[in-house]
Structure 1
Amino acid sequence: MSLINIESLRLTNPDPSRPGVFLLELNNGAENRFTTQFVAEIGQALDYVDQALDRIGSEEAARGGALITTSTGKFYSNGLAIEAAMQEGDTFYVPYLRMLARLLTFRVPTVAAINGHAFAGGCMFAMAHDFRIMRADRGWIAMNEVDIGIPLIAGMAAIVKCKVSDAGHARDCLLTGHRFTAADALAARFIDRAVPGDKVLDAAFELAVKFAPKASGLTPKVHLIKAELYREAAVLLLAGGTDPGGYFAKL
């Protein structure tokens, strides 16, 4: 049964026997580009999950919870609606960055079921999850800002750096815009598993169920652990700074 079902997304509880596990399906056009409205709608879906988790009884809360996101078709997400971002500036970026911070530190384990390409802002959205499953037969994950002439603001760079520990892979990702296949991404530890396209959602659900008990009791513990694990990225995302390299002006 759909908990939220609007044009841009659908939120469901795919297995009623596990009321703490939610599936958020993105459907904002063929490319799932982030707009101010789409970001707000994702925020509303996260609000719903938060509120639903608060309502779960103590027996079921002991089993914890998890959130999976996915899409259908060629793209998981093709990033930001660039023209709108350039026109709207902070009005566009600040809500997007706050949404990433919220997802990065969400109170239950999160899994990105990457069904297709995840580029730029879509790659960052996937990186904000705790775990990533990607289809093995097609699709790339990449930060292609360097190729489209857009610098990375501090929060955006930080969210990639906190998830990509190898300096060489981070360089290839951010400075060369390398398009990582599932095999490349698995070797670079961008993702946790690469599976056939028709198994992506099953694998994501399996991982969600495996780690859901880590949020047992549905207390703030997981959120607070993530808040410290990813402190630098979260601080920069929440600060809303949108001036790339602006610190140089202060030297």
Structure 2
Amino acid sequence: MKPIMQIYTKQNLIKNQFLILIRNISKNQSYLNSTSAQSASSSSSSSSSDDLILSKKLSQLSIDNNGIASLILQSSPVNALGIDLFREMKESLQILEKEKPKGLILKSNIKTIFSAGLDLKELYQPDQDRIKILWNLLQDVCVGLYSASYPTVAAMNGHSIAGGCALAFACEYRVMLPKFMIGLNETRVGLHIPKWLIASTKNILPRRLAEAALLEGRLFTTCEALKFGLIDEIAKDDDDLIQKSQIFFNKFNKTESLARATTKQYFRIQDIEEFKAFRKEDLETFLFIVNQEKFQKNLGKYLTDLKNKKK
């Protein structure tokens, strides 16, 4: 049996963590409660009244009159996830934790591409300090989305590959246009799937299917993704993507924001705490793999082939 003092200390720690969580969530509860409900029929026309919060080179953050935030990725040509884009996304998520919107729509303004994943050029013959920053930012953004106190939707207007899929999996709800691909194909390019991403995948797919898909590096078509549960809905066009996102947010009009946020945290707290415990190990594993001679050789060949295809 554990000593009484150890049990008492652990109970106090849990209690303190809960109180901190409640204070953080309730700080802006009045904003959420004052937000009016928006009907799905008017959702696609809301962009004209958006309040632009943060305009950067690679992304834009806005919140409309109904309290719905939009984080738009605009890093041509494929929304490759590099240091600069991650920094912008992290800043936007920090702003939203203070603003506490009614919901967040994560989307892309690049036709046919949600995100093609990590900027692989950063991984080839890498600067060690830069790839450490890159991986830490990937962790911050994905876990930040996953632990967000407000509802989140990935509105995918195109392919969502590798890191792009990780962003989508970190959101609560996923809507996608037809005839595109989604999946975590990291093992095909020689990278591992981190523990925190495996955890979020197992929350979406049955364990056996999740394991098979991640080991194989499988990509799913939109229809396959709906069938197996990677996405929640298929939208017919860009307007329908936003409309379906609005319908998802409206499901919570009758719920108390604090109660919803706290319940969400309880569902996800174990994954978040495990991430914190293994964060350093995750970075070390990433650095070990990226610096392998075989990985560098294969990545160099891949990037050369990709360059030749564009000629």
Length-normalised TM-score, structure 2: 0.67
The answer on whether the counterparts of 1:66 and 1:209 sit within 8 Å (CA) in structure 2 is: no
Query: Could you tell me how far 1:223 is from its partner in structure 2?
Result: 4.3
> 1:42-101 CA deviation, whole Å, 9 max, x = no partner?
111112222223xxxxxxxxxx71111111312111111123246233322122112211
In the alignment, does 2:163 pair up with 1:121?
Answer: yes
Indicate the residue corresponding to 1:3 in structure 2: 53
Equivalent residue for 1:177, pick from 206, 217, 220: 217
Query: Amino acid of the residue matched to residue 105 of structure 1?
Result: S
Question: Aligned partners of 1:212 and 1:99: how far apart in 2?
Answer: 27
- Any idea what SS the aligned residue of 1:186 has? helix
The answer on whether the counterparts of 2:97 and 2:148 sit within 8 Å (CA) in structure 1 is: no
Provide the identity percentage: 22
Between 1 and 2, higher relative CO (CA 8 Å, sep ≥ 6) is seen in 1
Equivalent residue for 1:32, pick from 76, 79, 82: 79
Indicate the residue corresponding to 2:104 in structure 1: 67
The answer on whether the counterparts of 2:56 and 2:88 sit within 8 Å (CA) in structure 1 is: no
Equivalent residue for 2:92, pick from 29, 42, 45: 45
Higher helix share goes to which structure? 2
The answer on whether the counterparts of 1:104 and 1:226 sit within 8 Å (CA) in structure 2 is: no
Indicate the residue corresponding to 1:208 in structure 2: 249
Question: Aligned partners of 1:151 and 1:84: how far apart in 2?
Answer: 16
Question: Aligned partners of 2:262 and 2:78: how far apart in 1?
Answer: 33
Equivalent residue for 2:131, pick from 73, 89, 92: 89
Query: Could you tell me how far 1:173 is from its partner in structure 2?
Result: 2.2
Question: Aligned partners of 1:22 and 1:105: how far apart in 2?
Answer: 16
Indicate the residue corresponding to 2:181 in structure 1: 140
RMSD between superposed Cα atoms in Å: 2.3
Equivalent residue for 1:229, pick from 256, 260, 267: 267
The answer on whether the counterparts of 1:162 and 1:233 sit within 8 Å (CA) in structure 2 is: no
The answer on whether the counterparts of 2:113 and 2:160 sit within 8 Å (CA) in structure 1 is: yes
Question: Aligned partners of 1:184 and 1:173: how far apart in 2?
Answer: 12
Question: Aligned partners of 1:24 and 1:160: how far apart in 2?
Answer: 23
The answer on whether the counterparts of 2:82 and 2:134 sit within 8 Å (CA) in structure 1 is: yes
Structure with bigger gyration radius: 2
Query: Amino acid of the residue matched to residue 76 of structure 2?
Result: G
Structure 1: runs of 5+ lacking an equivalent: 54-63, 246-251
